[in-house]
Amino acid sequence: MEQPIGLIVCGGQSTRMGKDKSLLDYHGLAQRYYLYDLLQPLCKKVFLSCNSEQAGGIDAGHAFIVDDEKYKNTGPMAALLTVFEQYPNDSLFVIACDHPFIRKEDLLQLLDSRDNIADAVCFFNESAKVYEPLLAVYEKKIAATVLENFNLRQYSLQAVLIQVNACKVCPQEMQRIRSIDTMSDHLSALEEIKRETAE
């Protein structure tokens, strides 16, 4: 299948963390740039999806797309709708900036799970029985469904994935798809990554 566009979602409010999660450093550089580099060889192009305030601080050499104002206050759905509108013939490989443990093999697992039938493939948390909407490939044919939900003021990507019966992918290790959303979790994650690196 054709390579998707890589989209790193950075535009959240980060209210629980208290600072911009995309700028946290787990691997020697800001997380958004770490993920950008990780996705680069797997995608036809990669964009940082950000809000207008973040856009001015993005380092040169990193392409970005600012969420369209008309999709404001819809959460990560804004990122998908903005990019689908600009690139209607492309699928999107979406990853949030708050997954510091994700590895290349996890991303390849998602890509290898794509087929010509499913509207999306997504990591699935079996114990919680929920999709991980920001660790997913959204095929271009799902764009109409996302827009339809937006017009109905239904902004949950979880609901979209359920609606289209997205392909569920069980990760090789659940620990690697954890999101880190608070400062205490961030500090613990730093220690964990430091230990893993030392081993």
Domain with 23, as residue range(s), is: 5-198
**pLDDT tens digits for range 171-187:** 999 999 999 988 899 99
Give the separation between CA 103 and CA 180, rounded to whole angstroms.
Answer: 15
Residue 19 predicted with pLDDT over 90: no
The pairing of strands 64-66 and 92-96 is unpaired
**Listed residue (13, 72, 76, 8) closest to 46, CA to CA:** 8
Structural domains in the chain (count): 1
pLDDT band at 11 (very low <50, low <70, confident <90, very high): low
User: Three-class SS string for the chain?
Assistant: CCCCEEEEECCCCCCCCCCCHHHCECCCCEHHHHHHHHHHHHCCEEEEEECHHHHCCCCCCCCEEECCHHHCCCCCHHHHHHHHHHCCCCCEEEEECCCCCCCHHHHHHHHHCCCCCCCEEEEEECCCCEEEEEEEEECHHHHHHHHHHHHCCCCCHHHHHHHCCCEEECCCCHHHHCCCCCHHHHHHHHHHHHHHHHC
Flag the least confident range among 38-42, 109-113, 143-147, 172-176.
172-176
Per-residue pLDDT at 13: 59
Per-residue pLDDT at 199: 74
Which residues fall within 8 angstroms of residue 113, CB to CB, at 6 or more apart? 121, 167, 169
CATH of the domain at 109: 3.90.550.10
